Structure 1
């Protein structure tokens, strides 16, 4: 029995610290996923909190959970999408500099870091312009290294739909890039 399964059993037997031990390794990634989908710190916190409550309820109701990490991150994505749909008309965009802190950095020379941050900031601004269905697949695939098959399962869509959305999203990102370059020339 793996440690997650042991912690699930401890939770169900009433050991309060077991739930914290179970979820704490997943909270940072859960928050990053929620924030990337929702583009709001407040909404991301709500999505994580809602997911934690739902996870606790599911555990206490003896829901069969084989891979807690995958199940919990799927729950985060679904609760984030629910909140995004709920707040569709709201325009709460985070500063691009806030988002940059969630993208893993690779150690380079200081000038490389500066150029890299400028590029990432520009790319993030383009990603934030995308419709949610494109933004989600781009973020999950490129920033969270999820496979197309895993994204399809997570979003309950076909793999071909994921591939199509990735293709369309990349085309839109390139179009945004070209439009910005044309504006700079004029």
Structure 2
């Protein structure tokens, strides 16, 4: 029996396996969109609960990851509608806590360079409007194709391409203002 079938049978071990397979991916996506690790963790947890409850609505087993992403995106959007943008702050401490081990293997100088560039990029992305931040996150961090993003967001391919283009342009402007030379 495959994972989806086990989930349909409401097997709790299958839910744990689902969380292990897709948890980091969904957390990264949610965190980039809502800018708060604790809120992102709550969204991911809620995403798995919704998925477990509504697994029978999944029409194509091979699209499980996309379906989970869509659930998470909808929960992010819902949360964002409830928030006032004034109250969202960029947290620098999280960047130190979330550095991957493979980012530090080349020594402290490389770690500081990576941290500096990642922090600048992260801050720049957070300055984008949600519609641009969303497509940039899905395309560059989650490596989705334009047609996959348009399916998930229920938008035309041309709309996604336009948002990606404008988002990249805005991101470049933000990075150049901040002095990041790699944006040129």
Superposed CA deviations along residues 49-73 of structure 1, whole A, max 9, x for unmatched, are 22122111112x4643422222112
Work out which of the residue numbers 124, 136, 140 in structure 1 matches 2:138.
140
Q: How does 1:58-137 map to 2 (within 5 A)?
A: 58-59=54-55, 61=56, 63-67=58-62, 68-99=64-95, 101=98, 105=103, 108=106, 110-137=108-135
Unmatched runs of 5 consecutive residues or more in structure 1: 182-186
2:11, 2:53 → 1: CA distance?
Answer: 15
Quote how far apart the aligned CAs of 1:14 are. 4.3
Unmatched runs of 5 consecutive residues or more in structure 2: 180-184
Helix, strand or coil: the match of 1:164?
Answer: helix
**Stretch of structure 1 that moved more, 46-55 or 26-35:** 46-55
Residues 102 and 88 of structure 1: CA distance in aligned 2, closer, same or farther (over 3 Å)? farther
Work out which of the residue numbers 13, 36, 43 in structure 2 matches 1:40.
36
**Aligned Cα root-mean-square deviation (Å):** 2.5
Moved over 6 A (4+): none
| Alignment match, 1:163 | 161
Superposed CA deviations along residues 113-158 of structure 1, whole A, max 9, x for unmatched, are 3222212211211111111011111122122222122111111111
1:159, 1:14 → 2: CA distance?
Answer: 36
1:179, 1:18 → 2: CA distance?
Answer: 48
Quote how far apart the aligned CAs of 1:105 are. 3.8
**Conserved 8 A contact 1:11-1:19:** yes
Paired positions, count: 176
**Conserved 8 A contact 1:8-1:19:** no
Residues 178 and 9 of structure 1: CA distance in aligned 2, closer, same or farther (over 3 Å)? closer
Q: How does 1:169-180 map to 2 (within 5 A)?
A: 169-180=167-178
Residues 144 and 115 of structure 1: CA distance in aligned 2, closer, same or farther (over 3 Å)? same
- Structure ID, larger Rg: 1
Superposed CA deviations along residues 65-92 of structure 1, whole A, max 9, x for unmatched, are 4222221122112211221122144523
Work out which of the residue numbers 5, 8, 32 in structure 2 matches 1:9.
5
